[in-house]
Homo-oligomer: A and B are copies of this chain.
Amino acid sequence: MKFCSECAHPVSLVVPPDDNRPRFVCEQCGTIHYQNPKMVIGSLPVWEENGQIRILLCKRAIEPRYGYWTLPAGFMENNETTTEAALRETFEEAGARIKLHGLFSLLNVPHVHQVHMFYRATLLDLDYAAGTESLEVALFTEEEIPWNDIAFPTVGHTLKSFFADLARIQKEGGSYALHTQDIRKPMRHTESPQA
């Protein structure tokens, strides 16, 4: 940020009164331009048939990570809720209709100022199709997932947590948990406190 978006005067990076960190401040009109993390919201769409569980993934048609595989997800927009964002991104990127279940993962990525959240979901039909941001959309069993070609650590962590929960539930019963993780650069994973 170089100029005030309200009056076009050059901004200064200073600590405002009663604050404790530098902000972009306009000394002409007084506006303080706060910058805060953004939310990336997506879904983990599950298709179960003949006892076989498969997950819908999208191959990215855009940078960053062009050609790598991701769960459908994207930046949450103003005027929508987290669940509306998950439904919208899943339809935009994968043409897929889903039923949402609970929030499954919440992953902090502080070095890029992002929080990623994924909802567990049931894919409602097989009429999915790649949107403009995807090269390809396909269903994968746990063994088929291209584990070495996953676009983002938050997606890999969410997929691994899902299959770990699934194995536990199939063996012992119980339910899916909320998985939280902090992903720091360089790739240092730390557990968040959890219930």
Contact = CB atoms under 8 A, between A and B. Distances in A.
B39 A115 contact: yes
Interface residues of A, number: 53
A22 to B, nearest CB: 11
Given A4-B3, A6-B2, A37-B39, A195 B103 contact: yes
A115 B5 contact: no
Copies of this chain: 2
B82 A21 contact: no
Interface of A: 1-8, 10-11, 18, 21, 33-39, 75-84, 99-104, 106, 108, 110-111, 113, 115, 119-120, 132, 175-176, 178, 180, 182, 192-195
Which of A2, A5, A38, A75 has its CB near the most chain B CB atoms (within 10 A)?
Answer: A5
